[in-house]
Structure 1
């Protein structure tokens, strides 16, 4: 049996040694590829029993060429790079690493909120220019006087809410898939999307990327927000229509934004329009990152592949129900 990594260089600095050890101990050949195109994936990975992917899209055409494939695994929590419906139609299991970076992304989200409200990047740049101006920029507000709105309330958002409580935020949640009791257990109030947009001082995005959430934050939804709102996105870039966001920041409707993910990332132009106003801060899709999170993810995905190739069904099969697999 063979497990193949599609795009080993899509994320810099990953250490695959944990996976190598687990696969070797279970008699599974482990191959690292760096495919850039559909055709390359088909050519180099067609005999994979387990396919592991970071960022390359796994399409129906690729799946049709994977004659031995039993499972496709995504490095991370989100799995939108995989056509799950197509995998299900072909009897292929799709798996992720659902809990590996909860603390990391939640911490990063809070760090971005603090960096915006306290203008850390802005002040740092001023001081480097020799300008010691404590009252430059906008007047910040006490966090305990603000409402933090969560768009989506999965595991990462809930961990973020745990952290946010310590700052005294009032919290509201838009998540149509959750019972109100789940939300109130975290000290938050359930709201519909329009209500959340109207009352939130800070909006943090935690929903997966679906057709229904693509460009969920756009010119129309931004218009419903408070003047001077701040927006954080540590989920998926295309949830925010980036041109609409930039326009809103320029107009002052949005006071500041902090993005770990951006539509059409990576952002590699030094003079990218995102940075024209100085009110948008970015990190390079790095919120997930820590030594502990990487080690956990590598171990979970390798063991998941081993389990499935040996006829077991672990909990992290995302299309388990669609495949008719029992608990």
Structure 2
């Protein structure tokens, strides 16, 4: 079979070649997008992608021989699942490879906000200043953390929060009563969570129902002085609404490992050179620049998954998914594929 890997660092190639010695393998460091479809991909049987690839109906039309998409991510929002299903293309993801890594990273961001670690480091490293002015933080113990989404990552966050002595409340479309009982927290409505939480952390997939879940209307419900953390997907937060909340001091601070249009923000020149950059895309990229420079916002480059252990698990899951498909017994099929 012809298998193509996109957005893959070169040091993984030998590992993959060992796993598939009899297949035709190609590797591209760049993502697969409607504006960047290499000719070699047109007859691929299998592709493996990461989050900056954008698998639109146009891309699927060009890859006329495609049978399997393996995304090296938990989320599938960069894939047109409906079109893949219509074309009977199987989509596999990696739902549990980074749950511990992302949960721990969530608390790294939270502690940085709570104790102003990023500002402290910047002052000492770049200003040789050891002044404590403006660096007073707050303890996590006794604070209320609102966890939106109690799947694999959300439940790990809840466990960590209880270890810090925090009060936990949660919101999920499908509440897990046993989980709540075992971990001594309550499920509440989204409105109540926003009104009562000192810290709000997002752990839901990006889909039609969660797109812009945090918008101007929901921001207005947030408890004044709360902190917002997003290690899920950028599109869950409306960027304009976050800036609005920061400007009015509704939101005291935010820590974001993901952004709306983050791939375009990483490479704005590529956006300008693409065939059809939209006015909305350009607007969000400019708003992201405001967030990057904002003194009460911490932004990291979609790094929460990036631990040695998580990436080892991810490569094994990817290889297992491809091998199982080749053997006629697909595994790790994305939930709505």
Q: CA deviation at 1:109?
A: 0.1
| Aligned partner of residue 243 in structure 1, secondary structure | helix
8 Å contact kept, 1:72–1:95? yes
Distance across 2 between alignment mates of 1:112 and 1:96: 26
- Which of the residues 143, 146, 150 maps onto 1:146? 143
Is 1:47 the equivalent of 2:43? yes
Distance across 1 between alignment mates of 2:35 and 2:294: 41
Match of 1:300 in 2: 317
| Aligned partner of residue 30 in structure 1, secondary structure | strand
Is 1:136 the equivalent of 2:152? no
Distance across 2 between alignment mates of 1:285 and 1:16: 22
Is 1:291 the equivalent of 2:300? no
Match of 2:274 in 1: none
- Which of the residues 220, 223, 226 maps onto 1:223? 220
8 Å contact kept, 2:33–2:59? no
Write the deviation string for residues 3-29 of structure 1: whole angstroms up to 9, x where unpaired.
112344xxx6762332221111xx222
Is 1:212 the equivalent of 2:209? yes
Distance across 1 between alignment mates of 2:31 and 2:227: 38
Determine which structure has greater relative contact order: mean sequence separation of CA pairs < 8 Å that are 6+ residues apart, divided by chain length: 1
8 Å contact kept, 1:6–1:41? no
Match of 1:318 in 2: 334
Deviates more, 1:202-211 or 1:12-21: 12-21
Query: Cα gap change, 1:173/1:35 in structure 2, threshold over 3 Å: closer, same or farther?
Result: closer
Is 1:6 the equivalent of 2:6? yes
Distance across 2 between alignment mates of 1:313 and 1:264: 32
User: In angstroms, what is the RMSD of aligned CA positions?
Assistant: 2.2
- Normalization by structure 2: what TM-score? 0.86
Structure with greater helix share of residues: 2
Q: CA deviation at 1:119?
A: 0.8
8 Å contact kept, 1:18–1:299? no
Write the deviation string for residues 71-126 of structure 1: whole angstroms up to 9, x where unpaired.
11101111111111111111111001111111111111000000001111122233
Q: CA deviation at 1:168?
A: 0.5
Distance across 2 between alignment mates of 1:37 and 1:170: 43
8 Å contact kept, 2:32–2:54? no
Match of 1:89 in 2: 86
Match of 1:198 in 2: 195
Write the deviation string for residues 259-295 of structure 1: whole angstroms up to 9, x where unpaired.
0001121445999211444100011001000122112
- Normalization by structure 1: what TM-score? 0.89
Gaps of 5+ in 2: 269-285
8 Å contact kept, 1:217–1:239? yes
Q: How many residues align?
A: 314
Aligned residue runs from structure 1 range 1-327, under 5 A: 1-8=1-8, 15-24=12-21, 27-33=22-28, 34=30, 37-38=33-34, 40-41=36-37, 43-54=39-50, 55-127=52-124, 128-137=126-135, 139-266=136-263, 267-268=265-266, 272-314=289-331, 316-319=332-335
Deviates more, 1:85-94 or 1:266-275: 266-275
8 Å contact kept, 2:146–2:198? yes
Gaps of 5+ in 1: 323-327
